[in-house]
Amino acid sequence: MHPRSVCFGDELVDGALQVPGEFSVCGSGCIEDAAEGGLAWGVVSVDKPVDLRSDTVTKPTRAMRAAMADAEVGDDVYGEDPTANALERRVAELLGHEAGLFVPTGSLGNQLGLRVLCKPGQEVLCDSLAHIARAELGAAAVFSGITFRTWRHNGGQVDIDEVRSLATPDAGPYLVSTAVLAVENTHNFAGGTVMSERSTEDVLGFAREAGVAAHLDGARLWNASVATGTSLRELASRFDTVSVCLSKGLGAPIGSVLVSTTDRIAEARVWRKRYGAGMRQVGILAAAGLYAIEHHIARLGDDHSRARRLAEGIGVDADLVPTNIVVAKVEDARAVAAAAAAEGVLVSALGPTLLRFVTHLDIDDEGIERAIGVLKPLIAP
């Protein structure tokens, strides 16, 4: 492999990348410093990179693009986009709920779910690494006046006794009352772990006992279903609100769907508009989601197999890789990620010592083997 030197401005630096913060490699081959919002310099392979940063980086397939081009559309703010309506009905049916709402992002799906379950001044309980608490920029507090308390992260599983010790469903006029328990399946920062049946039953049972609602962040619920052979309905139907993502493993370019009761979805639709996310002829995007649901769920098993192969190849215990996310601890995550990027393999540094690799629609067996060849000497020299 012959790397290509790239420069920005009037400075050119060859050799290893020197990046002051978390970074990613943008599509043009530059190294983008996420912490500083600027660009760094380095050596990037001229070959198409093996992009393992996230399953959000996928490109629509030709067939998906054709479905988008042929989509029947209308004004969705008026409820008149037939393709968006069909997507919402289909996802609600799959998950065992009355109604659905198409939204641009998974974060918005989560936030609308919390908004309709939790009043301003009330709290949500979740684990300390939950996406809604760590990766949605405090949106629940900013937009809905919601506060959080967290239980100790436990690999995506739930110690219900710890949750029970935190919950204060009716705290009176002086303390914050718990309104919602929120869980994540699969769990992103735990390495794509699947929430166990025991944890699910414990959470739902305690929620009913305590008189609080239960929200499921199911961004990668499709992966959980394929990995366990459990139906989406069984995984989702008893939660009060569920958000599922179309633009991760399913490969759509955008979108999530929030499902719940008809009344809650009607309320969420108002809040979607209030938050500035009312969409017009959005059937072009909804068509991609419909195509993904029909054609890209079963193939998620390929992503899971490739993730396990990647884990084996770089010295990570494959038994700890149930779905499409591999995590590895290293001495200097940013340095390893930079060196890998120089060889055309893009990965995420989630912290000083933690790397994440995510398999997806655009990564084939050859890409996995190429990634192993680059990563193995960096991770386990």
Residue identified by tokens 């083997």 is 369
Q: What is the pLDDT of residues 225-264, one digit of tens each?
A: 999 999 999 999 999 999 999 999 999 999 999 999 999 9
Question: How many C-beta atoms lie closer than 10 Å to residue 59's C-beta?
Answer: 11
Question: How many C-beta atoms lie closer than 10 Å to residue 307's C-beta?
Answer: 28
Give the chain's domains with CATH numbers.
Answer: 3-47+299-379 (3.90.1150.10), 62-295 (3.40.640.10)
Q: How far apart are CA 194 and CA 94, in angstroms?
A: 19
Q: Which residues, 6 or more positions from 64, have their beta carbon under 8 angstroms from its beta carbon?
A: 251, 252, 288, 291, 292, 295
Alpha-carbon separation of residue 16 from 35, 63, 77, 321, 350 (angstroms) = 19, 40, 50, 30, 20
| Structure confidence at residue 13 as a pLDDT band (50, 70, 90) | very low
- Based on its alpha-carbon atoms, the radius of gyration of the chain, rounded to whole angstroms, reads 21
- Asked if residues 4 and 344 have their Cβ atoms less than 8 Å apart, the reply is no
pLDDT, averaged across the chain:
89
| Structure confidence at residue 35 as a pLDDT band (50, 70, 90) | very low
- Asked if residues 55 and 292 have their Cβ atoms less than 8 Å apart, the reply is no
Q: What is the distance in angstroms between the CA of the first residue and the CA of the last residue of the chain?
A: 20
Model pTM score: 0.87
Of residues 275, 277, 231, the one with CA closest to residue 255: 277
Percent of the chain scoring above 90 in pLDDT: 87
Q: What is the mean pLDDT of residues 353-374?
A: 97
Q: What is the pLDDT of residues 178-187, one digit of tens each?
A: 999 999 999 9
| Structure confidence at residue 98 as a pLDDT band (50, 70, 90) | very high
The predicted pLDDT at position 380 comes to 76
* Higher pLDDT pick, 333 / 5: 333
- pLDDT for residue 216 is more than 60: yes
